[in-house]
């Protein structure tokens, strides 16, 4: 059985874009009210956040002024893949800018993996 001790959002440090790592992980974007508005994953967190902040960048967040607080967790800190970790958080928090991902991504997660993942959902 996979055991994931994922941090709650309230436990995560907040970073400025220039402080973000150029590493793989899951990132969390919150607005001025500290509400979680988007969760994503990237091979390079710093680069991906930069593309969210660009006016011409590819982002589900159209109003760039909403991006205020950024947190992340690195893949290296967990035995599970970033897609699985991202899914746990999206399913739990349901941020307003996260759309349902394509079914192809979720087909990679077996029913047993899904059961194990949902047993370790972070607490609100």
pLDDT digits (tens, 9 = 90+) for 16-43: 888 999 999 999 999 999 899 999 999 9
Nearest to 40 by CA among 19, 56, 57, 25: 25
Domains of the chain as residue ranges with CATH:
9-118 (3.40.1440.10)
Global pTM reads 0.74
DSSP secondary structure letters along 35-59: -EEEEEEESSHHHHHHHHHSTTS--
Tokens coding 88: 């746990």
Q: Give the chain's end-to-end CA distance (angstroms, integer).
A: 23
pLDDT digits (tens, 9 = 90+) for 48-72: 998 888 866 667 777 888 888 999 9
Rounded Cα distance, 49 and 42, in Å: 9
Unique residue bearing structure tokens 């996260």? 98
């Amino acid at each position: 059985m996979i055991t994931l001790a994922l941090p709650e959002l309230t436990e995560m440090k907040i970073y400025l874009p220039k402080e973000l790592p150029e590493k793989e992980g899951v990132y969390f974007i919150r607005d001025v009210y500290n509400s979680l508005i988007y969760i994503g994953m990237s091979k390079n967190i710093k680069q991906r956040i930069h593309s969210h902040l660009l006016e011409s960048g590819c982002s589900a967040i159209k109003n760039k002024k909403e991006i205020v607080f950024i947190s992340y967790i690195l893949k290296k800190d967990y035995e599970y893949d970033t897609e699985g970790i991202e899914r746990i958080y999206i399913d739990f928090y349901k941020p307003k800018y996260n759309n349902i991902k394509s079914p192809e991504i979720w087909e990679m997660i077996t029913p047993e993996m899904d059961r194990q993942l949902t047993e370790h959902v972070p607490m609100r």
